[in-house]
Amino acid sequence: MSLYPLKFKPIYKERLWGGSKLKDVLNKDAEGDLIGESWELSAVKGDVSEVANGALKGKRLTDLIRIYKEKLLGKKVYEHFGEDFPVLIKFIDAQKDLSIQLHPNDELAKKRHDSFGKTEMWYIMQADEGAELIVGFNKDVEKSEYVDHLENNKLEEILNYEKVREGDTFFINTGKVHAIGAGIMLAEIQQTSDITYRVYDWNRKDKDGNTRELHTELALDAIDYDKKDDFKVNYTGEKNKVNSMVECPYFTTNYLNIDGNLTRNISDRDSFTIYMCVEGEAKIANENGEEKLKKGETLLLAADSKEVNIEAVSAKLLEVHI
């Protein structure tokens, strides 16, 4: 069977810090009042995406990979990752501040958890007035200084805060302490990993009166203690062109601002391609079919796609491939 443009059923996650924007703004059909995440494309064990459209409806992403292999993933991707889908795609709504956390690199994650590390990027889709992210430290910090601030409830004094607005984009490499602040809705692209070291959670408790687990000791050898200004992504927004955002070993992301029509030959990409619609509505087609993509929806094109055509009156898309 030909691999037409594939949509998947979102996997919703209730979170202590979640809200209602995924339902109210992105029209997600999630139940519950604290929906923090919509996993759009996932092969994480226990949370595998299912096809939502066409003849393959109901098939799991892992089933498709097992059947179609490099035809779906691309030869280079399949040779490197085998049947492990290498990225996890999400929309996130933070009604409250997320915990301060970080992710280990590949080496540490493999050694401790038999997992990939977690490099990620964020595209801000909406932000309330004054909303902020925490990204890194505001100065170079010694490990002992970090521990002192953590133990004495002063960690905020050495953290770097960034006010954000729609369109701002951040690259979060492994080891960097970070947190999504209250009032922010964003698109997240990351390595396939659910390994997070939580170091501070604002001393809050869940509905049962319990505090969440912290990973204080695990985090000590995983943190990058240096102040770095390597997280803000600068990109152009030219219409009907491919605007480069992030290129790293784990994913490449482009920004597409479509007002009209964009047709591209992608036959030499040797990778699947993902489109996340972050504004407007577009029609995306390859030689095997077409699908409409609305704000808050995600689409997967197989690696054997020869050409992609994107048509829109006004749409903003994130394009992801390996």
For residue 203, give the DSSP letter.
T
Cβ neighbours of residue 229 closer than 8 Å, sequence gap 6 or more? none
- Pair of tokens at residue 96: 């409250």
95, 89, 87, 98: which is closest to 178 by C-alpha? 98
Beta strands in the chain (DSSP E): 11-19, 35-41, 43-44, 47-48, 87-94, 100-102, 120-127, 132-137, 159-163, 169-172, 178-180, 184-191, 197-200, 242-247, 252-265, 273-286, 289-294, 298-301, 307-321
Annotated binding-site residue? 321: no
Distance from C-alpha of 85 to C-alpha of 68, rounded to nearest angstrom: 13
Tokens of 132: 């902020």
Look up 15 and say whether it is catalytic.
Answer: no
Residue 164, C-beta contacts closer than 8 angstroms, at least 6 positions apart: 124, 127, 131, 132, 133, 181, 184
Q: Which stretches does DSSP call E strand in 138-272?
A: 159-163, 169-172, 178-180, 184-191, 197-200, 242-247, 252-265
Tell me the C-alpha distance between 155 and 151, whole Å. Answer: 8
**Around Cβ 40, how many Cβ atoms within 10 Å?**
25
Q: How much helix, strand and coil, in percent to the nearest 5, is found in the chain? A: 15, 40, 45
Catalytic residue among 15, 60, 66, 198: 198
103 is in an annotated binding site: yes
297 is in an annotated binding site: no
Q: Which residues contribute to the annotated binding site?
A: 103, 120, 178
Q: Active-site residues: which are they?
A: 198
Q: Which residues contribute to the annotated binding site for Zn(2+)?
A: 103, 120, 178
